[in-house]
Structure 1
Amino acid sequence: MAKKSPSRRRLTENSLEVGQADGFRTGYDHGYWYGQCDAVRNSIQKISAVWPQHVMFVETGKGFPYSPLDEAVGSTLSQMVAKLTIVNAEQPVAEIALQVRPDIVIVLDGLQFDIKQVIAMKEAGIRTAIWMTDDPYYTDMSVTLVPHYDVVFTLERNCVELYRQIGCPSVHYLPFCASPEQYHPINPEMSSRKEISFIGSAYMNRVRFFNGAAQYLATRNTLISGIWWDRLDKFDLLRDKIKLGNWMDPNGTSLAYNASKIVINMHRAHDDPDFNRNKLAITAASPNPRTFEIAACAVLQLCDVRDDLASFYTPGSEIVTYTSPQDLIEKLDYYLHHEQERREIAIRGMWRTLREHTYANRIHTMLSVLFPHSIPVN
């Protein structure tokens, strides 16, 4: 075997030293960053109140992607009430409720839950509540269901008045949130890291928008994951950056968020002709669950504007918004080149999420509404 010349050997040694130095700096940088994230997470005082009631929780029973919601709500309730009975929408819920006599039956989603069971529980004197998960996209169905419940919670601000107008006596705005157990800062492998990512289905409003940003996204280390993305006009340009038809569970989604410098969030349209059941054309003002989940990972989020978004995060300080493909491109480029500013916004967004927008926060609000005269034990 031919020996390397002294100059080639020195070049190899220098390259190795440079690589080791770069690796050390990268490792130190990421270790320091995740240490900061842990310090913020540990500074948040957890809600410890426990209500002395017996709650029956009716899971959607619809499988993924609703199963993580079932799990998050159920596990949170188990820590916040004296007794919890969990069933799902496919079981004889009314029959079970008549046997165990809970203080309240809380139904999640309810679109596939037989309303006859709600009526049977009401006739037996058992209080019922529902937490709507998909407003306003299925109001054609929800308006026929919610009047049968004693208390209605909806994640969409603009549905509150709608439900009151059709006769619901007690309607409350309760947006979704993040599960810190499912979404939190982690340190992914370097090989999985991206500059920009978007996780979600290619509804037509998203397709039209991404068509306008495709040229820029093609020049960056980008990940797009979800169904229907072959509808893009410039699909071939982005083909190698798209995981087509890929569904991710919370662990996979959290990993993808954490592996990204910037995550794009874009809401679905309230008037999509193919996938909505919203003939009343109720507009959407409230942030989607993804808004809170991205923020919980301490990743910079670029989010499209929704009317009520500023009630949850301060734009420019805890989240960044965009209004057009060109605006998105300019802000992506800016924050990719301003790392410290990007991280400061991201960590403020995580702090706000853990302080105000977790399932513990939401369930605390829900139980306070359902049992206003009860005194929880801390």
Structure 2
Amino acid sequence: MKEKRALKIAHFGRYGEGDTDIVRSMFLSLCNMGHNVQEWNTGTHPEWLYNRYKYRGGNGPIYIRLNHIHDKLMAFRPDLIICNAGGYTFSKKDIHWLKKNEIPVLGITLSDPDVMGTISKYAHRFTWHTTNSLTAYKEYKNRGFTNVYYMPFGIDDRFFKNRPVDPQYETDVAIIGHGRKDRYPIAEALCDNFNVRLYGNEWPYTHHSTGPVRGEDWFKAAYSAKMLVNFPRTIKGYTNIKVGILEAAATGKLLFTEYFNEMKNLFKYDDEIIGYSSKDDLIEKVRYYLQHPQEAKIIGYNAKQRCLRDHTWEQRFNKLFLELDLY
């Protein structure tokens, strides 16, 4: 087996959700793996970007201005450039220049299948491209893409560190995510039946909602709830594995999500997470596990151990880098 080597990686990304943002988690995990990672935080330097058509939500192309970063980038001499989500890429001219200088570019998409309509128009320009969605991956393959890899979400080691219950956040059930109309019926039923906290924007249940939580407040909210509820549907209505599943499972709290087949690739229903098929089914199961806390604790523990064993970002990147023969 080829010996692994530390890579020099130029990492471009924006931390929209602050310190607990998924892109931040991936950057920290690359550092933890021993790679020499040059951080390009586009959230603090928007002048590095050119977004002619005002794309947002992971759509693109949003171009990284090579002429703005050239000197610092080339002084670093990266083995790899990562355009991490946000629709980021380089212009055709700049991609050609990078390839000519033997600097491969890895594009990472974290909002598929919702953004595939725009990303697929230029994903072929990357040396390699990853998608978070198995549905999108199969569609890329059907369209003849040969540079696309499936990389499901992972989690970084900060999420496994136990935190004490904070009375300010203590609750039976928590939903950490923004409100949407398709989520309202379940959230309302939970609020009517249990002690519930909703963390995010656009929740109309003012007695239960306190706005979004980021950074250490996220950890306080998650670790101070007995149970967490996840919604797997995307904004465009796809049922998809989302990063919230991994974040919740890593805490060791009992996690509820809808039943769907792709989830079985990551977790075992009833042994590591709890699935629900309807609003009434969820309410019944939450009530049962509140009355049987030891069972809930065992299942939550199993999910946390599964995350540690199989679902860290270090494991995701290591598998990918081996496939790409980067070591």
What range describes the TM-score normalised by the shorter chain of this pair? 0.7 to 0.9
Equivalent pair of 1:182/1:250 in contact (CA under 8 Å) = no
Residue equivalent to 2:79: 103
Shift of 1:98: 4.5
Equivalent pair of 1:78/1:84 in contact (CA under 8 Å) = yes
**Closer/same/farther in 2, CA of residues 157 and 336 from structure 1, 3 Å limit:** same
Match of 2:309 among 351, 355, 360: 355
Residue equivalent to 2:201: 227
Matches within 5 A, 1:184-203: 184-203=161-180
SS of the residue 1:197 aligns to: strand
In structure 2, how many angstroms separate the alpha carbons of the residues matched to 1:110 and 1:225?
23
* AA at the equivalent of 1:257: A
Equivalent pair of 2:155/2:312 in contact (CA under 8 Å) = yes
In structure 2, how many angstroms separate the alpha carbons of the residues matched to 1:331 and 1:67?
29
Match of 1:145 among 107, 116, 122: 122
Residue equivalent to 2:236: 271
Match of 1:240 among 187, 202, 207: 207
Identical-residue share of aligned pairs (%) = 20
**Closer/same/farther in 2, CA of residues 196 and 123 from structure 1, 3 Å limit:** same
> How many pairs are equivalent?
302
When Rg is computed on C-alpha atoms for both structures, the one with the higher figure is: 1
Equivalent pair of 1:76/1:360 in contact (CA under 8 Å) = yes
Shift of 1:263: 0.7
In structure 1, how many angstroms separate the alpha carbons of the residues matched to 2:269 and 2:20?
31
Q: Does 1:328 align with 2:282?
A: yes
Residue equivalent to 1:64: 17
In structure 1, how many angstroms separate the alpha carbons of the residues matched to 2:75 and 2:146?
27
SS of the residue 1:240 aligns to: coil
In structure 2, how many angstroms separate the alpha carbons of the residues matched to 1:139 and 1:167?
14
Residue equivalent to 1:249: 214
Shift of 1:75: 2.2
Match of 1:173 among 124, 129, 150: 150
* AA at the equivalent of 2:222: Y
Shift of 1:196: 0.8
Matches within 5 A, 1:20-99: 51-61=4-14, 63-64=16-17, 68-89=21-42, 90=46, 91=48, 92-93=65-66, 95=70, 96-99=72-75
Equivalent pair of 2:15/2:23 in contact (CA under 8 Å) = no
Residue equivalent to 1:13: none
Shift of 1:88: 4.1
Residue equivalent to 1:155: 132
Shift of 1:153: 1.2
Residue equivalent to 2:56: none
In structure 2, how many angstroms separate the alpha carbons of the residues matched to 1:192 and 1:160?
38
Equivalent pair of 1:182/1:254 in contact (CA under 8 Å) = yes
Structure with greater proportional helix content:
1
TM-score (normalised: structure 1): 0.73
Q: Does 1:260 align with 2:222?
A: no
TM-score (normalised: structure 2): 0.83
Equivalent pair of 1:51/1:80 in contact (CA under 8 Å) = no
Unaligned runs of 5+ in 1: 1-48, 273-282
Unaligned runs of 5+ in 2: 49-64
In structure 1, how many angstroms separate the alpha carbons of the residues matched to 2:135 and 2:161?
30
In structure 2, how many angstroms separate the alpha carbons of the residues matched to 1:125 and 1:195?
54
Residue equivalent to 2:181: 204
